[in-house]
Amino acid sequence: MPEPTTPDTRPPALLKAGSAVELAPGIRRLLAPNAGLMTGPGTNTYLLGKKEIVVLDPGPAIDTHIRAIQRAAGAPIRWVLVTHTHADHSPAATLLARETGATLVGQPPPAGPNQDQTFSPQQVLKDQEYLKTSELTLQAIHTPGHASNHLCYLHQELRWLFTGDHLMSGSTVVINPPDGNMKHYLESLERLKEFNLGKILPGHGEVITDPDQTIDWTISHRHERETKIIGAIREQHNPTTMELLATVYDDVDSRLLPMAERSLLAHLIKLGEDGRARETNKHWTLVGK
Ligand SMILES: [Zn+2]
């Protein structure tokens, strides 16, 4: 496809697959063509640096996207990082590293479905460890909850945080047990407020310019959902998980109910761990008052 030869004076369509958008000098975003119910506009791939490139979350193994990343890079790709190993974030990593000789960085996948078992990092970053290039430094922050091996990456100079699926723009994330864990998710969110964040660059959707308010809103949204669950258990007298789903997620698009059921289960497991609810023969009761 030839490049347009006349200047386009329309405002840029920011989230459009296939062309890189510069968010700051040396920070570019390239949207993967995998829009959908669970991925929103698609997966955001980030390209960091100018002289040597870090690719963050190259997305699913879509050949045209892997080509677009290489075309947009404009300099050698030295590192391929992933926030976590769900199918919409990491499968392109191994392919891209094989073609470019880049080092794979992240945490290995846990066992279980919807985990990219092809991802085998050469450099494993633990909590608070750094990746330094000649142009920038990224600090890994372990943020289990959405996925047990989830890392956010903090750009040290800008204080911008790449959050993968830990936080996204415009919707809440799915917590899918057993790898997803609601208690860990809330703890990981609280902890992010210690890092003096400038902006959040999520794995899906637009840049978030009010990080701490967004984190607070997300935590309170989860607490409200938990309160609603406790109320529904009390009112419905020993409901099953499916009986709770219809009342607790009455505000959710019906197409999303199968995934909402996973988040509901994550809330119920947390209430169990907190000693506030108990499951007996698939029916839930409150413990104490
Ligand atoms: Zn994910």
Give me the CATH number covering residue 234. 1.10.10.10
**pLDDT tens for each residue of the chain, 289 residues long:** 333 333 333 344 467 777 899 999 999 999 999 998 888 889 999 999 999 999 999 999 999 999 999 999 999 999 999 999 999 999 999 999 999 999 999 999 999 888 999 999 999 999 999 999 999 999 999 999 999 999 999 999 999 999 999 998 777 899 999 999 999 999 999 999 999 999 999 999 999 999 999 999 999 999 999 999 999 999 998 999 999 999 999 988 888 899 999 999 999 999 999 999 999 999 999 997 6
Total structural domains within the chain: 2
Does any domain span residue 271? yes
Q: How far is the CA of 73 from the centre of ligand 1 (A)?
A: 25
Q: Which residues pair with 152 in a beta bridge?
A: 141
239 CA to middle of ligand 1, Å?
29
The verdict on 45 and 174 lying in the same domain is yes
In-domain check, residue 274: yes
The CATH code of the domain that includes 92 is 3.60.15.10
Cα 165 to ligand 1 centre (Å):
5
Q: Which residues share a beta bridge with 286?
A: 277
Q: Are both 157 and 52 inside the same structural domain? A: yes
2 Cα–ligand 1 center, Å: 34
- 225 & 190 share domain: no
Q: Is position 186 within any domain? A: yes
Query: Of 189, 209, 229, which residue constitutes the final position of a domain?
Result: 209
The answer on 183 and 81 residing in a single domain is: yes
Q: Are residues 194 and 274 in the same domain?
A: no
Q: Which domain holds residue 248?
A: 221-286
The Cα 88–Cα 114 span in angstroms is 9
- Residue 193 tokens, joined: 């407020």
Residue 26 lies in a domain: yes
Q: Measured on CA atoms in the order 203, 209, 215, 220, is the torsion positive or negative? A: negative
Q: Which CA distances in Å does 212 have to 161, 177, 183, 186, 187? A: 12, 26, 19, 14, 14
Final residue of a domain: which of 156, 179, 209? Answer: 209
State whether 189 and 107 are in the same domain: yes
| Domain assignment of residue 240, yes or no | yes
Q: What is the distance in A from the centroid of ligand 1 to the CA of 237?
A: 34
Task: Please report whether residue 166 resides in a domain.
Answer: yes
Out of 209, 243, 275, a domain closes at: 209
Residue 256 lies in a domain: yes
Residues pairing with 40 in the sheet: 36
The pTM score is 0.92
Task: Tell me the CA–centroid distance for residue 97 and ligand 1, in Å.
Answer: 21
5 in a structural domain: no
pLDDT at residue number 43: 96
Residues 193 and 225 in one domain: no
Residues at Cβ < 5 Å from ligand 1 ion: 86, 165
Distances (CA, A) of 251 to 219, 225, 228, 245: 18, 11, 12, 11
